[in-house]
Structure 1
Amino acid sequence: MPGKYTVTYFPVRGRCEALRMLLADQGQEWTEDVMTREIWQKGDIKKSCVFGQLPRFQDGDFMLYQSNAILRHLARNHGLYGQDAREAALLDMVNDGVEDLRVKYYRLIYQNYEDGKAAYVEALPGELRPFENLLAQNNGGKAFIVGKQISFVDYNLLDVLHVHLVLAPDCLASLPFLAGYVQRLNARPLLKAFLESDAHKKRPINGNGKQ
């Protein structure tokens, strides 16, 4: 049912943009409940969150936390979890790899940006190489990260690639399959409309202004 979803998060892309892209590309409507710094610092909302952090995702009367759990919930509901148990396991594996890279990115952005950026950017093609190799093994790099249908991991990986292309615009220069993958997914009509919307373009990538 369109419109039954509510996303509660800070006014940044952060850990919510992948699920927003998923919802948009799947033709779903949702409500944004924007959490201001002032309200969050009061502490009442934080105490109500299972792990003391956002995002919070509401699906009707069902409340869920943790961004990857939310992505998997949506994947089950919208046929985005592979065609069989083997594909689902591979998707879990790749999503764990995406999470590893996302954590490294956030450590750079929030803990070591000035001193660590040059070394991070230099190492980045190597960090992205496993995803390039996975694409090469799936229909000659012309399909999705796993299988023949788009999955929740494609949205998560695409978001991580987007933020790294801002950080290091040439990071895919030696990774042709990933470069084509980004172009191919960006061109999906509903996803393209979302990526070109003010809601996406005007939303900061991170909470400290660094990117």
Structure 2
Amino acid sequence: MVVTLGYWDVRGLAHAIRLLLEHTETPYEERQYSLGPAPNFDPSDWTNEKEKLGLDFPNLPYLIDGSTKLTQSNAILRYIARKHNMCGETEEEKLRVDMLENQVMDLRLSFIRLCNNPDFLTFVDFVAYDVLDQQRMFVPDCPELQGNLGQFLQRFEALEKIGAYMRSGRFMKTPIFWRTAQWCNKKE
């Protein structure tokens, strides 16, 4: 029997479900919903249908597998995983899988909030810059700090107030660590 996966016409929360359906060779069809154009982004493609599907909690994504009708991405993933013995075998394995699932979801939600923030700059950017800058000082030719991460460092340093601070006498480039450290323990 072919299951139906319903979601917006974006990768979003349904992508992991699609991957798991493909991996488990579960036959499925998709019902992709579209938002209308800007500036209103009319959701009626979904809202006109959502109450007609018999879902206990009408939401996207949803999965319909015969009489089984599920919403919530993690519930859908767990349902598919149970059918294919992919939730861990021992109680300890199942607990670890549950914790990891929620840890990854926390990361996902933080990333979603960041990407939907119109200012797109949080305090984490400051911590990330500091750590990446130290890595760049430690290994100046590090290939991982060339592409996107290198561009991030450049954009951060180009921020007006950050650039002014870095050019001022108040800016402290070194030392990074106490004198007991083996690297970057002296003012340069």
TM range (shorter): 0.5 to 0.7
Partner of residue 65 from structure 1, selected from 71, 75, 100: 71
TM-score for both structures, normalised by structure 1: 0.52
2:98 maps to 92
2:26 maps to 28
Cα distance between partner residues in 1 of 2:65 and 2:120:
40
Question: Number of aligned pairs?
Answer: 127
TM-score for both structures, normalised by structure 2: 0.57
- The alpha carbon displacement at 1:30 in A equals 0.8
Q: For 1:15, what is the secondary structure of its paired residue?
A: helix
Greater relative contact order structure (CA < 8 Å, 6+ sep): 1
Measured against aligned partners, the alpha-carbon deviations of 1:174-196 in whole angstroms (never above 9, x if no partner) come to: xxxxxxxxxxxxxxxxxxxxxxx
Is residue 13 from structure 1 mapped to residue 17 from structure 2 by the alignment? no
Query: Are 2:58 and 2:71, in contact at CA under 8 Å, matched by a contact in 1?
Result: no
One-letter identity of the residue aligned with 1:14 = G
One-letter identity of the residue aligned with 1:6 = T
2:167 maps to none
Rate the CA distance shift 1:169–1:80 in 2: closer, same or farther, 3 A. Answer: farther
Cα distance between partner residues in 2 of 1:65 and 1:33:
14
Is residue 40 from structure 1 mapped to residue 69 from structure 2 by the alignment? no
Q: Which runs of 4+ in 1 moved over 2 A?
A: 38-53, 111-118
- The alpha carbon displacement at 1:113 in A equals 5.5
Rate the CA distance shift 1:112–1:29 in 2: closer, same or farther, 3 A. Answer: same
Unaligned runs of 5+ in 2: 37-41, 132-146, 150-188
Is residue 119 from structure 1 mapped to residue 125 from structure 2 by the alignment? yes
Rate the CA distance shift 1:53–1:83 in 2: closer, same or farther, 3 A. Answer: same
One-letter identity of the residue aligned with 1:84 = T
Structure with the bigger percentage of helix: 1
Alignment of 1:141-156 (within 5 A): none
Query: Are 1:108 and 1:117, in contact at CA under 8 Å, matched by a contact in 2?
Result: no
Q: For 2:120, what is the secondary structure of its paired residue?
A: helix
The CA RMSD measured in Å over matched residues stands at 3.1
Query: Are 1:40 and 1:46, in contact at CA under 8 Å, matched by a contact in 2?
Result: no
Unaligned runs of 5+ in 1: 126-167, 171-211
Identity of aligned residues (%): 31
- The alpha carbon displacement at 1:5 in A equals 1.1
Q: For 1:115, what is the secondary structure of its paired residue?
A: coil
Cα distance between partner residues in 2 of 1:90 and 1:56:
25
